[in-house]
Amino acid sequence: MKSLLINVILLLGIAIPGMMAQEQKEQLWLAGVEVVKPDMVTRYLELNKEMTVICQSEKFPYSFYVWTSGDFRYYLWYPIKSLEDIPAIDKAWKAIVDKWGVDKYATFQECLEYTEQKVMISRPDLNVEPQQPAASPGENNYCWWQEFYLKNGHEKAVEALFKEGEKLIGNRSIQILMGYGKSGFELPVLIMWSFGKSKNDYWIKDKNDWEQMDEQTIAAFKKIDDEFTTHLRKYVYRDMWWQKDISYEKAE
């Protein structure tokens, strides 16, 4: 099995619009997590499509990008300017529900087991950017998502290790987007995400990058990895797939 840090540094991908966009400044993100009853997924998706149509016609004032991890969990990611946007989003959804109808909304609620709310902030100064993107915007439908739960107070030490690892990469076609959880997570947590056209496409590229590394570089990564793991408390990862047909991007 690949070492943890090398797994991170070698992740291949390029961004797509919205949450997937290449970020040049810190960006707050609100995630509304909807856990769907297994026997209600089809109905949940049908109702979401109806709501998305209403969002378009009513010019819903906030973009949201829906991803699923394939385990009945759907993540609605909203780019926000401040935490004050959260109650404003709730108010905007109330207007959509009023337009849609309370009975239809009640049916939608019956599809859900429960919901969660999380906030994270991007850290573009920690991103690993590719020299030449391997895909055009909008082509990526797969995301490799990782959450590194750190020991308290170890954030700066871990950031230094990643920057050291980045120097070993050279000019490979790699992009890693990074951020920190702000609320709704166990803290501190460093979050990383990267993209591919599909899961198969993504991991083929990952394999190719591994094969291009020489033994000296791998040995250097191993040394960094040994120290990196001493800062970890827990590691969570998941596959994610973009749900384009129930995502929404507001008109600028």
Three-state secondary structure string covering the chain: CCCHHHHHHCCCCCCCCHHHCCCCCCCEEEEEEEEECHHHHHHHHHHHHHHHHHHHHHCCCCCEEEEECCCCEEEEEEEECCCCHHHHHHHHHHHHHHHHCHHHHHHHHCCEEEEEEEEEEECHHHCECCCCCCCCCCCCCEEEEEEEEECCCCHHHHHHHHHHHHHHHCCCCCCEEEEEEEECCCCCEEEEEEEECCHHHHHHHHHHHHHHCCHHHHHHHHHHHHHHHHHEEEEEEEEEEECHHHCECCCC
pLDDT at 133: 62
Which CATH topology does 29-120 take? Alpha-Beta Plaits (3.30.70)
Q: Which of 64-68, 136-140, 170-174, 248-252 has the highest mean predicted lDDT (pLDDT)? A: 64-68
Cα(248)–Cα(113) distance, rounded to whole angstroms? Answer: 23
Mean pLDDT of the chain: 87
Picking from 1-10, 29-38, 81-90, 195-204, which range would have the lowest pLDDT averaged per residue? 1-10
Question: Boundaries of CATH 3.30.70.100 in the chain?
Answer: 4-26+122-241, 29-120
Which CATH topology does 4-26+122-241 take? Alpha-Beta Plaits (3.30.70)
Using alpha carbons only, what angle is made at residue 120 by residues 143 and 155, rounded to the nearest 5 degrees? Answer: 95
Residues 156-204: pLDDT tens digits? 999 999 888 888 765 555 578 899 999 999 999 999 998 888 999 888 8
Mean pLDDT of 1-12: 38
pLDDT at 130: 72
Kindly state the tokens that stand for 139: 């082509």
Cα(229)–Cα(4) distance, rounded to whole angstroms? Answer: 8
pLDDT at 87: 97
pLDDT at 114: 98
Q: Name, in order, each residue with C-beta under 8 angstroms of 160's C-beta and a sequence gap of 6 or more.
A: none
When pLDDT is cut at 50, 70 and 90, the band that residue 122 belongs to is very high
